[in-house]
Amino acid sequence: MEYRKLGNTTLKLSAISYGAFAIGGNMWGGNERKDSIDAVKASIDNGITTIDTAPFYGFGLSEEIIGEAIKDYDRSKIQLLTKFGLVWDGSNNVKGEHFFDAENNGKAVPVYRYSSKASIIKEVEDSLKRLGTDYIDLLQQHWPDPTTPIEESMEAAAQLIKDGKILAAGLSNADVTLLENAAKVHQPASNQVSFSMLNRSIQNDLIPYTLENNIGIIAYSPMERGLLSGKYFSNEKLKADDHRNGYFSQFDLEKVKIFLENITPIAEAKNASVAQLVLRWTTLQEGITVVLAGARNAEQAISNAAAMNFEISNEELAFINGELEKL
């Protein structure tokens, strides 16, 4: 495993980090608690020491599972990343802008984007309790809040750093303008954004800006929620309440299938899976600090970590990139 410095901080994160959205269960067809705990432990045991979660993932469940999984580990060797800014009835005073309705135990729960200073401070206290820790390594705004100036949100982050509740603060899903406005109060350490072989738009303007301003990029959905593993082109079926049933429809699935078939020989030559090749390719892209990969059991976690066990040559990179241009 490689460990990479995050932006202008002293934090060092594992190049492949654990993305804990799926273990929250909601929107992913449920989860098995023991499998989720085992996945977190296997990740840490295999060098994936950075764990990214959010209060919204399972309405607190993801953070609770992580807190349980890490309780016997040396906290100083684990980097906990969580977020603020998505609130729901019961989690906070519901204000801000309605974002979407999420399913929870068969009921539709309205979720709002809200990042006021008071709300952020309350969210952090709740997250600390669920995670069973007294500090968060990196706190990130989950989604931009059109009802609260980003300057107010960053004031809260700066205060939390001063209070020792968090070590660093960043944004998620932010464009260059939002990063610039945030920096007027506190320079964001990072920006967590969607990036994959099928979604490379951040290379146009966001990556140049973050490179120039020493802001780390945390890439989420590198596997496009499992599509780039190739297994959904076999007989594997998704549960009816799995959001990926609709998500995958945005892609030209036949072209994706052909692309994966064409790069399979590279993976096979390295005794690696296509999924591991995709993850490794993502870690090698300019400006990408760390890559988030989810795992719902120990086997998947171990496989994700093993993606760092091989190299991709310049010739192989050129071939892969050439095939991507055909999509």
Q: What are phi and psi of 236, to 5 degrees?
A: -70, 135
Residue 285 tokens read as 């892209």
d(CA 85, CA 162): 20
Contacts of 196 (CB under 8 A, 6+ apart): 219, 221, 222, 223, 224, 228, 278, 282
CA neighbor of 10 nearest in space, from 217, 174, 216, 286:
216
3 state SS of 186: coil
The two beta strands, 86-88 and 107-113, are antiparallel
- Give the whole-angstrom CA distance, residue 135 versus residue 223: 30
Query: 164-183 as b/e, with b when 16 or more CB fall inside 10 Å?
Result: ebbbbbbbbbbeeebbeebe
Residue 57 is among the residues annotated as catalytic for this protein: yes
Tell me the two tokens of residue 183: 């920096």
Q: pTM of this prediction?
A: 0.94
Query: pLDDT by residue (tens digit) across 241-274?
Result: 777 778 888 899 899 999 999 999 999 999 999 9
- Which two structure tokens, joined as six digits, stand for 50? 């950075």
Identify the architecture of domain 3-247+273-311 in CATH.
Alpha-Beta Barrel (3.20)
pLDDT score of 28: 46
CB within 8 Å of 167: residues ≥ 6 apart: 9, 11, 135, 136, 137, 138, 161
Q: pLDDT tens, 223-239?
A: 998 899 988 887 667 77
- What is the distance of C-alpha 108 from the center of its chain? 24
Q: Where are the alpha helices (DSSP H) in 186-285?
A: 206-212, 244-247, 253-269, 274-283
Closest to 233 in 3D by CA, of 280, 275, 182: 275
Q: Which two tokens stand for residue 69?
A: 């999984």
Question: Of 18, 57, 112, 114, which is the active-site residue?
Answer: 57
Taking only the tens place, the pLDDT of each residue in 101-134 is 988 778 888 999 999 999 999 999 999 999 999 9
Helix axis angle, 314-324 relative to 253-269, nearest 10°?
Answer: 170
Could you give the CA distance from residue 228 to residue 207 in angstroms, rounded to a whole number? 23
- State the amino acid at position 153 in one-letter form: S
Pairwise CA distance, residues 123 & 313, whole Å: 44
User: What is the residue type of 179?
Assistant: L
Q: Where are the domains of the chain?
A: 3-247+273-311
Task: Check the CA dihedral 289-100-110-241 and report its sign.
Answer: negative
The list of the chain residues with pLDDT below 50 reads: 28
Q: Say what the pLDDT of residue 156 is.
A: 98
Is 229:275 a contact under the CB 8 Å cutoff? yes
Q: In what order do the strands lie in the sheet with 107-113?
A: 86-88, 107-113, 97-104
d(CA 4, CA 74): 20
How far apart CA 196 and CA 169 sit, in angstroms, is 24
Closest Cα to residue 98, out of 141, 145, 138? 145
